[in-house]
Amino acid sequence: MTHSTADTGLRHEDLGALMARMTGAEKHGPAATSTLDVLWVLYDRVLRVTPATATDPGRDRFLLSKGHGPMAYYAVLAAKGFVPVEWLSGFGGYDSPLGHHPDRTLVPGVEIGSGSLGHGLPLAVGSALGLKAQGLDEPAVWTLIGDAELDEGSNHEALAYAGSAGLERLHTVVIDNDSATHGWRGGIASRFEAAGWSATTVDGRDHAALYAAFTAAHPGRPHAVVARVEKKA
């Protein structure tokens, strides 16, 4: 299985126009735009999933924990052909499948319903364990969380377990825009490393750096990428 390709012909430079179609959630605009480059690099160059393989057992799984600002996610899904571009203009409407939180039963390609902070990483750990139990060793599990989600204890239980269990197919991207109440000496990556993860910190707008971090080898350990993004984004 190959990674997703832009069958629609839309490119990264088109994402701004796609996001502009979605109105009514301006307070979550920064939450959305801070994820845009990470999402694009994942779906354009890393994830082994396409609209045609979105239900294939061998696909990679992407779980958006940061689901309270899904506009960038919807824009990327539209650019990659998972959902029609025409859906974007109805974002948040009564009859629209594109809600203010993603719904896995309504939006093709969406793996979890999300938005409540602290759920994505525990669900990703469970997904990795479930795939392993089924003998599916190839699919990677990715989750995207916000730095403020690390204020939630559920994430710390999940990352502690994942590190001790050596869940090599588990990957976490943390969008770090200085929103967290708490912090760690040495930065967020040090928290994951202390729990046995492979971890690195990169510029969350630098596509080459993101790709290198996403594809770095991490034998026997789960992998975390901390994507630093200015809070004004």
124-164 confidence digits (pLDDT tens): 999 999 999 999 999 999 999 999 888 888 999 999 999 99
Residue 90: count of CB within 10 angstroms of its CB: 14
Question: Taking residues 41-45, what's their average pLDDT?
Answer: 97
Q: 183-216 burial, b for 16+ CB within 10 Å, e for fewer?
A: eeeeebbebbbebbbbbbbbebbeeebbbebbee
State the pTM of this model.
0.92
The DSSP letter of residue 107 is S
Q: How far apart are CA 68 and CA 41, in angstroms?
A: 21
Tell me if residue 58 falls in helix, strand or coil: coil
Residues 6 or more apart whose Cβ sits within 8 Å of residue 113: 67, 101, 102, 103, 104, 105
Residue 103 and residue 128: Cα distance in Å, rounded? 21
Question: Which range is least confidently modeled, 198-202, 218-222, 227-231?
Answer: 227-231
* Measured distance CA(209)–CA(221) in Å, rounded: 21
Average per-residue pLDDT for the chain: 90
Q: What pLDDT does 233 receive?
A: 38
Angle at 114 between CA 82 and CA 93, to 5 degrees: 65
